[in-house]
Amino acid sequence: MRTISKEDRLLLVRHERAVRLSIDAVEAASDAALSNETPCAGWDLRALLDHMGTQNRGFAAAARGANDPAVWAVRPATDPIGDYVRSAHDVVAAFAACQARTLFLPEIPPGEFPVATALGFHLIDSVVHAWDVARSVGRAIDLDPDLAPTALRIAEAVPTGTARHRPGAAFGPALEVTDTTATLDRILRVLGRAPEWLPSRV
């Protein structure tokens, strides 16, 4: 049985808050057109939601000990909003019950990571995609002040370099950050998102 440290428990709590942030953003977009553009180049809101739901299912399966790359294949949902919300609750439950020491994440080389590292990956994805969804409908997100420093630490640990320039990269090249940049904007800019981005139409 995996021993859960105090730091791991705090990370679990903050991860759940990050996922909750994404759920709130998705539910707030429930009346929006799924064709809305998003900050993710080439993805409309439907494609983004399908990606997010797939990631949730992949991380949930990994937390339950699965080693199946097929789980990570994106399949369009008939109900993208409801599908995402269900998958979000499921991934929180999967991590809360996780007894593994490492998780298999086939999309991220080298593929196997300590649970805390995998949890951090999913936490920062949840925060950034919550912003992506919110911005696609002209909204903003309110980042929990307890969650913000953890999200920033994880964002700043994401490797830079040529991988960020490749098509389909999870995050684009980092943008300039100043000492006065607010925490959420700093997170976004470190991960290649322009905080001022807005859709051409909502």
What is the average pLDDT value for the chain, to the nearest integer? 93
Angle at 53 between CA 49 and CA 57, to 5 degrees: 170
Higher pLDDT pick, 114 / 107:
114
Closest to 117 measured CA to CA, from 160, 159, 78? 159
What is the spatial distance between Cα 75 and Cα 82, in angstroms, rounded to a whole number? 14
Number of residues that make up the chain: 202
Burial of residue 91 (CB within 10 Å: 0-12, 13-18, 19+) is: buried
Q: Is 69 helix (H, G, I), strand (E, B) or coil?
A: helix
Higher pLDDT pick, 127 / 165:
127
Type of residue numbered 58 = G
Contact 57, 87 (CB under 8 A): yes
Note the pTM of the prediction, 2 decimals.
0.94
* 3: confidence class by pLDDT, cuts 50, 70, 90: low
- Domains along the chain? 6-190 (1.20.120.450)
148-157 vs 183-190: helix crossing angle, rounded to 10:
20
Mean pLDDT of 77-96: 97
pLDDT in tens, 165-192: 787 777 889 999 988 889 999 999 999 9
